[in-house]
Amino acid sequence: MIVTNLNDVIKVGIAQMDIVKAPNTIRTSGLGSCVGVVIYDESKKIGGMVHVMLPDSSLNRTNTINEAKFADTGILALVDSLKREGAQSYKMKAKIAGGAQMFQFTSDKDSMRIGPRNVDAVKTQLKKLNIPIISEDTGGNSGRTIEFSPVTNMLNVRTVNKGVSEI
């Protein structure tokens, strides 16, 4: 959905994605172990966001797949959507936030490290697509809300109990 009203905020839910053009902004909340991935083309003043829940679509347990739910399929789908709206892949850049370890487990099982695994999967997929990560606010153990402006190309990150930063 691309909104044309001035200064609208496009809201992206869990396991969803959307695109925004200036002067509007795009926001997602509830980033615990999930990762918010923003990909943008600053020359076109367009950006998109995907709220990644899980690292790999091989973890899918249904017959249909929600592409935005997984790092591997969600990032590809977002890039394709941005291209359809005029963004150029060689000009795309990324900013990421989230991937917290929300709960402390006594087990060292890798399957319990959802946040770090999500961050690793996002970085791997962006590297495959030659999209540089300009900045990130990942890890820790606090939830985040993020909002991106294609006017300034800044990602506003509100972290629980830590305040606001811009990356």
Residues that are catalytic: 34
* Contact yes or no for 51/67 (Cβ under 8 A): no
Output the CA–CA distances (angstroms, integers) from residue 25 to 46, 77, 87, 131, 149, in the order listed: 10, 20, 17, 21, 5
**Beta strand 9-11 with 35-41: parallel, antiparallel or unpaired?**
unpaired
Q: Among 23, 45, 26, which residue's Cα sits nearest to residue 37? A: 26
Q: Which two tokens stand for residue 12?
A: 């992206």
Q: Among 138, 125, 117, 110, which residue's Cα sits nearest to residue 36? A: 138
* Contact yes or no for 40/153 (Cβ under 8 A): yes
